[in-house]
Amino acid sequence: MTASPQAGLAILISGRGSNMQAFIDACDSGRLDANISVVISNNPDAAGLQRAAQAGIATCSIDHRLYTSREAFDQALVDCLAHYPVDLVILAGFMRILTPVFIAPYSGRLLNIHPSLLPKYPGLHTHQRALDAGDKEAGVTVHFVTPELDGGPPLLQASVPILPGDNEDALAARVILQEHVIYPLAAQWFLQGRLQLRDGAAFMDGQAIPATGIPYRAETS
């Protein structure tokens, strides 16, 4: 009997690729039963491209500045991914707003991670906004991607306390540690068939996921 082929991941990055590295580590350790088929960046100078290449992963640079519209750039992404086995697309610090040209073909198998406890603080500067609001905790959310910016249904959330004297950098450093834990975990759940997007809502093992996602605890995994 031949082994079933591993699921294929495509990871989209714009910078250094710290979450991408978390996926590389999770695949290498067996925590994530998948193979990274390709890493794509809209930034030809992204440090993450070199990190991926050093790990033996195929890479592709598609400079968004060479395209006249978001839609044209998104079509180039679709055309690139057509050359690789892709069961799940991971947005890992991909700093582009995607259009339906890309979202529609991958609907239900497109994940993003956002550094806030969604639905709080979509968009940028999330940690500073949490500090300015006097919040007692901050965190990170893995969610399905839909055309609404940071508006897809949350899947998994991890929180960290906001400590006295915290600044944006200190808070971000604690949050990113949680990102590296819960993002590969959510991907593993998806590849196991446990996560689904149906009619704009997220389900885990056939049960509707709460509007703020499943709260992560060590036993959650």
Domain boundary residue, one of 106, 123, 157: 106
Give dist(CA 78, CA 95) in Å, integer: 17
Average pLDDT over residues 166-194: 97
Question: 4 vs 213, which has greater pLDDT?
Answer: 213
User: What is this structure's pTM?
Assistant: 0.95
Q: Please give the tally of structural domains in the chain.
A: 2
Query: pLDDT by residue (tens digit) across 130-149?
Result: 999 999 999 999 999 999 98
Domain check: are 101 and 119 in the same one?
no
Considering the domain architecture, whether residues 102 and 121 belong to the same structural domain is answered as no
pLDDT class of 2 with cuts at 50, 70, 90: very low
Domain match, 92 and 188 both: no
In the DSSP assignment, the letter for residue 6 is P
Kindly give the pairing relationship between strand 34-41 and strand 59-61: parallel
How high is the mean pLDDT of the chain?
95
Residues 119 and 180 in one domain: yes
Among the listed residues 114, 127, 143, 180, the single catalytic one is 114
Say whether 114 is catalytic. yes
Indicate if the pLDDT at residue 5 is higher than 90: no
% of the chain at pLDDT higher than 90: 94
142 with 216, same domain: the answer is: yes
Q: What percent of the chain is predicted at pLDDT more than 70?
A: 97
Within this chain, do residues 94 and 143 fall inside the same structural domain, yes or no? Answer: no
Q: What is the pLDDT of residues 7-48, one digit of tens each?
A: 999 999 999 999 999 999 999 999 999 999 999 999 999 999
Same domain, 146 and 121: yes
Same domain, 55 and 122: no
Give the end of a domain, one of 106, 134, 162.
106
Q: Looking at the structure, do residues 93 and 119 belong to the same domain, yes or no?
A: no
Q: Tell me which residue range forms the domain holding 190.
A: 114-221
Residues 89 and 140 reside in one and the same domain: no
- pLDDT at position 149: 86
Question: Does residue 214 share a domain with residue 135?
Answer: yes
Pairing verdict, β 34-41 and 7-13? parallel
Same domain, 219 and 175: yes
**Which of 73, 106, 139 marks a domain boundary?**
106
Beta sheet of 88-91, edge-to-edge order: 59-61, 34-41, 7-13, 88-91, 110-114, 137-144, 154-161, 214-215
CATH of residue 210's domain is 3.40.50.170
